[in-house]
Amino acid sequence: MNKGTIIALDFDSRDKTLEFLDKFDEQLFVKIGMELFYREGPEIIREIKSRKHKIFLDLKLHDIPNTVKKATLSLLNLDVDIINYHVAGGREMLSVAQSSASEKEGLLTLGVTMLTSTSEESMHEDILIDEDYSLKETVISYAKLAKECGLSGVVCSALEVPSIKKSVGEDFLCVTPGIRPLTYAKDDQKRVVTPEKARELGSDFIVVGRPITHSEDPLKAYNEINREFLGE
């Protein structure tokens, strides 16, 4: 799959989502998260698919293996392009998830390593990951587990891409949010990189929300960000 920009459609309704998509003629790659999916249900996926856009359905599944397997089989009917799982669900959960996801040719699976909202301190004190393992080592170890279970890649910070690719393999997909053009505020993101920097670090896909969705001219913002990422 080629490199590119995935637009995070973090809208709270179908109408706002479709109004935004109406501004584009070309085929996009979009990310639908829990907020919109839980509000609008599978119908919003079907509508966006009928407009020929590609979809990353960001539901971050995490449950006992049998439940995640059944949930994955249910999602196959939606014909999305990427689904994802919390790596913390463990080897058995990831393996059965992957074997169900493999029933649909071309479906990519991503692991969520450590959420970027989890601090190193909380990882040790609340999640009880041993002090011997840093956040970076934990992320790499989770990425290796995702690879061993057959997943296509991980969602991670662009800053983590070089060490993940080095440890896990160049062909392991790294999909990276936390992207901000130089001219745009950071919002609540902490460690941000520009689209150009994400390319240099080796990201396969960047995930960009507000710099495009909150722009006065979303089409222009998308084109500028995507060209910068692709180095055009």
Catalytic residues: 60
Residue with Cβ nearer ligand C5P (153 or 209): 209
The verdict on 123 binding ligand C5P (CB under 6 A) reads: no
Distance, first Cα to last Cα, the chain? 18
* Beta-bridge partners for 85: 61, 111
Nearer to ligand C5P, 98 or 113 (CB): 113
Selected binder of ligand C5P within 79, 137, 171, 187 (CB under 6 A): 187
DSSP element (H, E) containing 138: helix 135-148
Helix (H, G, I), strand (E, B) or coil at 166: helix
195 binds ligand C5P (CB under 6 A): no
Smallest gap from Cβ 148 to ligand C5P, in A, equals: 22
Per CB under 6 A, the list member of 7, 8, 28, 94 interacting with ligand C5P is 8
Q: Contact between 178 and ligand C5P (CB under 6 A)?
A: yes
| Choices 44-52, 77-85, 208-216, 223-231 (CB under 6 A): range interacting with ligand C5P | 208-216
Q: Within 13 Å, how many C-alpha atoms sit on residue 25's CB side? A: 1
Q: How many CB atoms lie within 10 A of CB 202?
A: 16
DSSP H helix total and E strand total for the chain: 11, 8
Greatest Cα pair distance, the chain, in angstroms, is 51
Assess contact for 111 and 142: CB atoms under 8 A.
yes
List binders of ligand C5P among 22-61 (CB under 6 A). 33
User: Considering only 99-107, 136-144, 163-171, 207-215, which stretch makes contact with ligand C5P by CB under 6 A?
Assistant: 207-215
Tokens of 34: 């829990």
The residues binding ligand C5P (CB under 6 A) are: 8, 10, 33, 115-116, 155, 177-178, 187, 189, 207-210
